[in-house]
Amino acid sequence: MTDDPTPDSFGLATRLVRGGLHRSPHKETAEAIYLTSGFVYDTAEEADARFAGTSPGYLYGRYANPTVRMLEERLMGLEGAEECLCTGSGMAAVTASVVAPLRAGDRVAAPRALFSSCLWLLDTYLPRFGVEVVFVDGDDLDQWRAAAAKPLKLVLLESPSNPVLGGVDLKAVADIVKPAGAIVVVDNVFATPLLQQPLTLGADVVVYSTTKHMDGQGRTLGGAILASKALMDEHYRDFLRHTGPALSPFNAWVILKGLETIHLRVPAQCTSAARIADALAAHPKVTRVLYPGRADHPQRAIHARQMSAGGTLVALEIAGGREGAFRFLDALQLIDISNNLGDAKSLATHPATTTHRRITEAQRLHIGVTPGTVRISVGLETCEDLLADIAQALEAV
Ligand SMILES: *Cc1c(COP(=O)(O)O)cnc(C)c1O
């Protein structure tokens, strides 16, 4: 193996293990951690040439770092994107991808069902700068058409959406909003690049929280923006350099190691999630199950078209509202209560009182978050143990 980034002709698993690998002269096996904030130049002339861009090489850790670059190249190979820039968290990636192209007077559209910090960015922060934000029901194409009746600068969407795993038809929405001028940004965290490839469905930009399935073991925060070279040069590279949401080289290394096994972990988690969804659907104390892989999901057709499996998250509604949900959560002995997701450990959350407590009850009900709604992020434990834990916790309801 040379130290060139792995060509696209290799299989997925090969690219996940070796993509982007650049060995130092020491020929280390594992990717090196370049834990340095800066770089030095042999001569003043060399520094001049580096800053002029006529001599290749690193300048400063806020701009780029060799370990972070290995991660970016591995992600480019995974997503099929021309360029990738990583950030210190998923929200740094979402914020940069949305804010960088905008000017006062621009219009943005997004579904109402969004990851809660993404919603804050759109409904609270952007309007302060004279950006108009139009919210739609993500699965209603007529509402997208109405939003696109006037020029649109950018669209941010996620599918499956947080927290109840709604489906947005990425291709149909891209076809509607792109003629209005929109840059289509897809937050693909819930699906992961293994199950859904938004760039092939018309998205211009894909963003990730690497904190979730890419790290996969709950250790680091990180984010990534993937797009064409042209978009990166026009909107994102300078914004990231000068505003400074850089990813730590150490965290980049942990995420590189996480990617080496993501193709083993995510399918295993999907298999367990599907079994858990089926078991929950048959339980009398569960009034509703929302799993993208089940035939009874309201947007099943959309998910089946654009996702190759149902994903690692299951949403359910427990009988007895908030009290029932709390009893269930408090009775869990194996599955932890946590708002995180995409971890090797199974985690359960009550969105109405945690991630989605900021919005009103009416807004929550509109996006399907009832007082009894619980979201489970299915981990890597033995599935029978998870099923047994869920069954005994439902006894407490
Ligand atoms: C977690 C998450 C984010 C934010 O990522 P952080 O790494 O926590 O900043 C954004 N979007 C979705 C869908 C997420 O699940």
What average pLDDT does the segment 253-266 reach? 98
Q: How far is the centre of ligand 1, averaged over its atoms, from the C-alpha of 211 (Å)?
A: 7
Q: How far is the centre of ligand 1, averaged over its atoms, from the C-alpha of 19 (Å)?
A: 24
Task: Specify the ligand 1 atom closest to the Cα of 189.
Answer: 13
Q: Tell which wins on pLDDT, 233 or 7.
A: 233
3-state SS, residue 236: helix
Q: Which residue among 211, 221, 255, 340 has the greatest number of ligand 1 atoms within 8 angstroms of its CB, and so is best to mutate?
A: 211
> 318 is written with which tokens?
């427990």
User: What digits encode the pLDDT tens for the residues 183-193?
Assistant: 999 999 999 99
Which pTM value belongs to this model?
0.97
φ/ψ of 267, rounded to 5, equals -60, -35
Q: Which residue among 117, 158, 196, 340 has the greatest number of ligand 1 atoms within 8 angstroms of its CB, and so is best to mutate?
A: 117
Whose Cα sits closest to atom 6 in ligand 1?
90
User: What digits encode the pLDDT tens for the residues 18-43?
Assistant: 999 999 999 999 999 999 999 999 99
Q: How far is the centre of ligand 1, averaged over its atoms, from the C-alpha of 90 (Å)?
A: 5
Q: How far apart are CA 16 and CA 32, in angstroms?
A: 16
Q: How far is the centre of ligand 1, averaged over its atoms, from the C-alpha of 322 (Å)?
A: 25
Q: How far is the centre of ligand 1, averaged over its atoms, from the C-alpha of 212 (Å)?
A: 8
Residue 8 has pLDDT above 90, yes or no: no
Q: How far is the centre of ligand 1, averaged over its atoms, from the C-alpha of 26 (Å)?
A: 36
pLDDT for 1 equals: 39
Whose Cα sits closest to atom 2 in ligand 1?
209
What's the count of helices (H) and strands (E) in the chain, helices before strands?
16, 12
Q: How far is the centre of ligand 1, averaged over its atoms, from the C-alpha of 278 (Å)?
A: 27
What does pLDDT average to over the chain?
Answer: 96
Task: Specify the ligand 1 atom closest to the Cα of 222.
Answer: 7
Residues with CB under 6 A from ligand 1: 89-91, 94, 115, 118, 158, 162, 187, 189-190, 209, 211-212, 221, 223, 341
**Percent of the chain clearing pLDDT 70 (strictly above):** 98
pLDDT for 2 equals: 45
Residue 313 has pLDDT above 50, yes or no: yes
Residue 240 has pLDDT above 90, yes or no: yes
pLDDT for 134 equals: 98
Residue 235 has pLDDT above 90, yes or no: yes
Q: Which residue among 195, 205, 209, 221 has the greatest number of ligand 1 atoms within 8 angstroms of its CB, and so is best to mutate?
A: 209
User: What digits encode the pLDDT tens for the residues 129-177?
Assistant: 999 999 999 999 999 999 999 999 999 999 999 899 999 999 999 999 9
Whose Cα sits closest to atom 8 in ligand 1?
90
pLDDT for 155 equals: 98
Helices (H), 124-248: 141-147, 170-177, 192-195, 229-231, 237-243
Q: Which domains does the chain have, with CATH numbers?
A: 11-259 (3.40.640.10), 262-394 (3.90.1150.10)
φ/ψ of 376, rounded to 5, equals -110, 125
Contact 19, 6 (CB under 8 A): yes
Query: What is the pLDDT confidence band of residue 252, given thresholds at 50, 70 and 90?
Result: very high
What average pLDDT does the segment 101-128 reach? 96
pLDDT for 3 equals: 56
User: What digits encode the pLDDT tens for the residues 60-98?
Assistant: 999 999 999 999 999 999 999 999 999 999 999 999 999
Query: What is the pLDDT confidence band of residue 4, given thresholds at 50, 70 and 90?
Result: low
Task: Specify the ligand 1 atom closest to the Cα of 211.
Answer: 7
Task: Specify the ligand 1 atom closest to the Cα of 342.
Answer: 15
pLDDT for 5 equals: 57
Q: How far is the centre of ligand 1, averaged over its atoms, from the C-alpha of 2 (Å)?
A: 35
**CA 12 vs CA 117, 143, 252, 316: distances in Å:** 32, 37, 20, 33
Q: How far is the centre of ligand 1, averaged over its atoms, from the C-alpha of 299 (Å)?
A: 22
Q: Compute the half-sphere exposure of residue 251: CA atoms within 13 Å on the CB side of its CA.
A: 20
3-state SS, residue 364: helix
Q: How far is the centre of ligand 1, averaged over its atoms, from the C-alpha of 349 (Å)?
A: 15
User: What digits encode the pLDDT tens for the residues 337-373?
Assistant: 999 999 999 999 999 999 999 999 999 999 999 999 9
